[in-house]
Amino acid sequence: MKRFSRFLMYGALFLALISCGKKKESNIIIVRKPEAAKPVVTQKMGDYARSQVVQWLGAPYKISVKFSADPSLPTVMDGEQRYYDNQVTLVITRADGTEFYRKTFTKADFGSYLTADYQNDGALLGVVFERVDHDRLNFAVSVGSPDKVSDDYIPLLMKLDRTGGLTIVKDTRSDVGDVSSESDVEE
């Protein structure tokens, strides 16, 4: 029995010495391959051109709006994506083909109505003919987030009178109702 106990004691001591031994260090290091940063391409919001003929002051007038990205303007940021800001060219021609009004608008033309955030990271989203209002043509203007799925924008109302005078006001109307503006600025 002494022999068996001695054998058992030596076996336990041997196992204790082996288990306390240092692990083998491997020279193999497994690291995930870093993904190369994809260059962020500056996006366009989509160019378009629209024309329509309206009756105004007893005669037909053709209203043409051309919306396009302008790489010469500072880019705007929406989260992680960069966008080109836009310019909108508004041309109004008489029935005989002569131009009554022509102007190219950028976000800077509406700067006095924008907060600092919209001036820095907002884009000119569009100018759309709205309606004839007596001796004025009314256009809806929006400046806001360049992301197409966003509804974050500042609505403005631009009024063009029979002499070519332009008035811009903040559009404070609800979906139904009349125009009630805080201030008018004539250009």
Query: 19-57, pLDDT tens digit by residue?
Result: 665 666 677 778 888 887 777 788 888 899 999 999 999
pLDDT value, residue 178 = 47
In a domain, 182, yes or no: yes
- Beta-carbon-side half-sphere exposure of residue 179 (alpha carbons within 13 Å): 19
DSSP letters for 63-111: EEEEEEE-TTSPPEEETTEEE--EEEEEEEEETTS-EEEEEEE-GGGGG
pTM: 0.72
- Count of domains in the chain? 1
In a domain, 90, yes or no: yes
Amino acid at 64: S
- Does residue 183 surpass a pLDDT of 60? no
In a domain, 39, yes or no: no
In a domain, 71, yes or no: yes
Please report which confidence band the pLDDT of residue 14 belongs to, taking 50, 70 and 90 as the band edges.
low
Please report which confidence band the pLDDT of residue 2 belongs to, taking 50, 70 and 90 as the band edges.
low
pLDDT value, residue 78 = 83
Domain housing 70: 48-186
In a domain, 55, yes or no: yes
CATH code of residue 73: 2.40.128.510
In a domain, 14, yes or no: no
Query: 78-111, pLDDT tens digit by residue?
Result: 888 899 999 999 999 999 999 999 999 999 999 9
Q: What angle (nearest 5°) sits at the alpha carbon of residue 93, between those of residues 45 and 171?
A: 50
pLDDT value, residue 122 = 92
Which helix (H) or strand (E) segment holds residue 42: the answer is none
Average pLDDT of the segment spanning 62-91: 93
pLDDT value, residue 126 = 92
Please report which confidence band the pLDDT of residue 74 belongs to, taking 50, 70 and 90 as the band edges.
very high
- Does residue 130 surpass a pLDDT of 70? yes
Average pLDDT of the segment spanning 133-146: 94
Of all residues in the chain, the percent with pLDDT exceeding 70 is 80
**Lookup: tokens for 127:** 């100018």
